[in-house]
Amino acid sequence: MIKKLLLAFVFLFAFSCSSSNEDSRLMDVNKMSQLISKKDKTLVYIWTTWCSGCRETLAETLPDLKTNIDTSEVQIILIAASKNKTEVDSLVSMSGFSESSYFLNFIGPDKGKFQTLGIRQFLSANFKGEKIYTGGIPVFFLVDRNGKILNKKLPHSCEELISNLK
């Protein structure tokens, strides 16, 4: 009986730890505000696993950009609009952005209107009155530490991105 109780306790403890880690990666209004206030400029990249352009930017452009910017002034935040945490984590770890990777919390499947509504709701809650999202994936924009949008649609080549940051 004691062994069963001990086993149940260990299981619940392990489950609660993994759940809190997952919760810490869910992006919300407070977390977004807190993160963008840390640096002068923040590149926000909202992407999903089914988007081939997102995968290419994640694998090539963003890692190249990260080595060519002053990370004391500029940060890159990735927000996956996907529920496939295993695939997201695999893609993010290969690109070297595990420490700045978050999940958008939305209801419904990864493709379609629920994902679109989730992105739209998240952006309108964080950046009131700004039309950032036009319905396409990825969403890639630049914001200052006060939440002011500096550029609503960033290019996907490293050279163009660097020139936009200057």
What pLDDT shows up at residue 86? 93
Q: Which fold has domain 26-165?
A: Glutaredoxin (3.40.30)
What pLDDT shows up at residue 79? 96
Residue 136 burial by CB count (10 A; 0-12/13-18/19+): exposed, middle or buried? exposed
Q: pTM score, two decimals? A: 0.83
DSSP of 48-115 = -TT-HHHHHIIIIIHHHHHHTS-TTTEEEEEEE--S-HHHHHHHHHHHT-GGGEEEE--SS-SSSHHH
Q: Show me where the domains of the chain are located.
A: 26-165
Q: Please, how many CA atoms are within 13 Å of residue 69, restricted to the half-sphere of its CB?
A: 26
What pLDDT shows up at residue 4? 41
What pLDDT shows up at residue 161? 86
Tens of pLDDT along the chain (166 residues) come to 554 434 344 333 444 444 445 678 999 989 999 999 999 999 999 999 999 999 999 999 999 999 999 989 999 999 999 989 999 999 999 999 999 999 998 887 777 788 889 999 999 999 998 999 888 899 999 999 999 999 998 887 888 888 888 7
What pLDDT shows up at residue 2? 55
